[in-house]
Amino acid sequence: MQMMHYIRARVSAVAVFFLLVLGVFAQSPAVEQIRILLWAELDAYPGFEETNAMSEGMFDYSIGRLKQLAPFVIGGMVSGWNFSYTPSDKLRGVEEHMEFSAVQEFGEYEQAITYVAPLVQDSRLTCWIEFIRTPHMIQNYNLWASITHETIHGVGYGKISDGFDGLRDAVKDAIRDAVREHFRTKIKNKPKEIRGKVLIRRTPLIGIESGRYKVQLDFFLETDKIVPYTQF
């Protein structure tokens, strides 16, 4: 693992997180190349000496965590997610519910993700994550970007202490927020279920707010089916 040779401090197991920077790249997304900045909070060993900073195996857990997060987010950018959303309905005693899953598993494409220029600075490990879309992925993005797909925006939150599951919950919450706000103005009567797909359309912004992950995502939206209630 090439990243190990650059790391000088221990990544805290309970406070691993990363920030996907929203900037010029986010405003005008490159279609072929995805380039995302990740960073993780560091916690130095007491009495840690720079001479032993190159120890192998010391960061297996943390690197494994980052390599779990990277394909998850990139997968949302190249293939997208299916979703099933049930709005809350107090009169019927129905609680709000959201499920989502990958349109296509990232699988062997994980091997094509590269981790570039790791740097330890200000108690953070920073690293660029790069991925080149295949011609088929580029074609898929251009199809999503056509005028037939609406665009939506959502914000979601998740517990940092839950690690990867916390970030996944934040993404799920962002999808729910985006879908709920979009259809609230489109449908007069609350439906039983809304099914569809979303694809992340520009570089996500993922940060920390009040001890929680805060995820801001822009999507392309494809509505597959709106299921109405057959009776009250």
For 107-153, what is each residue's pLDDT tens digit? Answer: 899 999 998 887 766 666 677 899 999 999 999 999 999 878 999 99
C-beta of residue 120 within 8 angstroms of C-beta of residue 139 = no
Average pLDDT of 9-33? 46
Per cent of the chain over pLDDT 90 is 51
CA distance 175 to 192: 18
Residue 132 CA neighbour count, 13 Å, CB half: 4
Amino acid, res. 23: G
Residue 161, pLDDT score: 81
Report the mean per-residue pLDDT for the chain: 80
C-beta of residue 105 within 8 angstroms of C-beta of residue 76 = no
Which pair of tokens denotes residue 25?
């790249």
In this predicted structure, the answer to whether residue 201 has a pLDDT above a threshold of 80 is: yes
Residue 207, pLDDT score: 84
Give how far Cα 18 sits from Cα of 6, 119, 129, Å: 17, 14, 11
CA distance 121 to 9: 10
For 148-185, what is each residue's pLDDT tens digit? Answer: 899 999 999 999 888 788 889 999 999 999 999 999 98
Nearest to 205 by CA among 73, 12, 90: 73
Q: Is 208 helix (H, G, I), strand (E, B) or coil?
A: strand
Residue 135, pLDDT score: 95
State pTM to two decimals.
0.80
Q: Kindly report the three-state secondary structure assignment for every residue of 37-104.
A: EEEEEEECCCCCCHHHCCCCCCCHHHHHHHHHHHHHHHHHHHCCEEEEEECCECCCCECCEEEEEECC
Average pLDDT of 1-16? 43
CA distance 38 to 58: 19
Q: Classify 41 in phi/psi space as left (phi over 0), alpha (psi -120 to 50) or beta.
A: beta
In this predicted structure, the answer to whether residue 54 has a pLDDT above a threshold of 50 is: no
In this predicted structure, the answer to whether residue 21 has a pLDDT above a threshold of 90 is: no
- DSSP at 163: T
Nearest to 15 by CA among 98, 115, 124, 100: 124
Q: Is 230 helix (H, G, I), strand (E, B) or coil?
A: coil
What's the first-to-final CA gap in the chain, in angstroms? 59
